[in-house]
Amino acid sequence: MKKFYIAKSRRLRSTPFTSRIENHGVTAYTTYNHMLLPASFGNLEKEYFHLKEHVQVWDVAAERQVQITGKDSTKLVQLMTCRNLSKAKVGRCYYAPIIDEQGGMLNDPVALKLAEDKWWLSLADSDIGLYAKGIASGLSLQVNISEPDVNIMAVQGPKSFKLMEKVFGKKITELKFFGFDYYTFKGNKFLIARSGWSKQGGYEVYVENRKAGQMLYDELFSAGKEFSVEPGCPNLIERIESALLSYGNDMDNNDNPLECGLDKYVNLDTEVNFLGKEKLKEVKQTGISKKLMGVIIDTKEINVSKSIDLVDDKGSKIGELRSGVYSPHFKKVIGIAMLDKPYYEVSQAFKISINDSTFEGKVCDLPFI
């Protein structure tokens, strides 16, 4: 297969850690929020097993922040998400699906409440800052909306707790899941959350001082030698096994959160107001017409660069595969697919064509593990 290279430019932003991860041997990038996001260090399965056993440091600065401040900041954030944030507390993170007036998914960020009048939306891959500005302008809300120079470094894996304790002290081990607080390293303060895009446990460090962040990055590798620390990135195998959904891959603006299995974040029986609420009430009443499900396919190779149709025995389309990868745990390809009604039932059989060959598969629940 012919290799292609990313042409770097001012439009495709590097991160404070780019030179370091390139020295560590990154072999592939993807683009995310107009920024470089490491995608591989050469061996997906090796990185998968290492993540589940040890600790990795990730450059996920591409998870940009939309900062919303001002008198109407909470009102604006609530208008954008179907999750009830009326009781949100300072110092906590909230998974908050963002939808449009038709209930279609626009993003699924983690919202951090930094103060009563200050929020960060830690984004998946889409321009939510522009959406926020449009709503604020149309409703004349008293807010300021910006993208601060905040670059996330994730420390993930079962040994992440020991490594972070070694660098920041015992107090950081008291941080609860989806909580955040400020911790000091060599005189520099960092906002650190117990979160991350893996199910192996860990932290996300919100770096506001680039030089200090680079010093911390280097220290994590120096201090982490005894914990077998390695560079890493969000791992496709671990992500799919854990059913950590990827906006733009598993779901997009043509899907609503009910179809994506995000029912517990759709709070329709509350007094809070958000765009798309009436539309989602209609969907709730009539029922969904499609649903994200897991699939297991009887093959060991796949490369999903676009949706692949799933068909029944008669060749009629019943859904589409949106993400897929070979799982060393299941010894087969597993994936996340959008299945049409009534085919989103467990054990539903289907066929799929990959590289001119046809394979059989079955629908299953998410997550896989």
DSSP states of 115-149? ETTEEEEE--SS-HHHHHHHHHHHHT---EEE---
Give the tens place of pLDDT for each residue, 90-124.
Answer: 999 999 999 999 999 999 999 999 999 999 999 99
Statement: residue 1 has pLDDT above 80: no
Buried/exposed 269-281: b ≥16 CB within 10 Å, e otherwise: eeebebbbbebbe
Tokens matching residue 369: 């593990």
Tokens matching residue 309: 């149709």
**Among 148, 126, 145, residue whose Cα is nearest residue 137:** 145
pLDDT at 244: 98
Q: Which amino acid makes up residue 307?
A: S
pLDDT at 2: 67
**Among 226, 234, 225, residue whose Cα is nearest residue 202:** 234
Give the tens place of pLDDT for each residue, 264-300.
Answer: 999 999 999 999 999 999 999 999 999 999 999 999 9
pLDDT at 327: 98
pLDDT at 4: 72
Statement: residue 7 has pLDDT above 90: no
Spatial distance between the Cα atoms of 220 and 217, rounded to a whole number of angstroms: 5
Lowest mean pLDDT among 5-14, 28-37, 125-134, 177-186: 5-14
Cis peptide before 342 (omega within 30 of 0): yes
At 9, the pLDDT band (50, 70, 90 cuts) reads confident
| 3-class DSSP assignment, residue 81 | strand
Statement: residue 316 has pLDDT above 70: yes
Give the tens place of pLDDT for each residue, 37-46.
Answer: 999 999 999 9
pLDDT at 147: 97
Backbone angles phi, psi at 209, to 5 degrees: -120, 110
Statement: residue 3 has pLDDT above 90: no
State the chain's mean pLDDT as an integer.
Answer: 96
Under 8 Å between Cβ of 132 and 145: yes
Give the tens place of pLDDT for each residue, 51-82.
Answer: 999 999 999 999 999 999 999 999 999 999 99
Helix (H) or strand (E) holding 114: strand 110-115
Give the tens place of pLDDT for each residue, 214-273.
Answer: 999 999 999 999 999 999 999 999 999 999 999 999 999 999 999 999 999 999 999 999
pLDDT at 11: 86
Spatial distance between the Cα atoms of 192 and 155, rounded to a whole number of angstroms: 10
pLDDT at 57: 98
pLDDT at 40: 95
pLDDT at 195: 98
**Domains of the chain and any CATH numbers:** 18-63+150-240 (3.30.1360.120), 289-369 (2.40.30.110)
pLDDT at 80: 98
Contacts of residue 313, Cβ cutoff 8 Å, sequence gap at least 6: 349, 351
For the chain, the distance separating the N- and C-terminal CA atoms, rounded to the nearest angstrom, is: 33
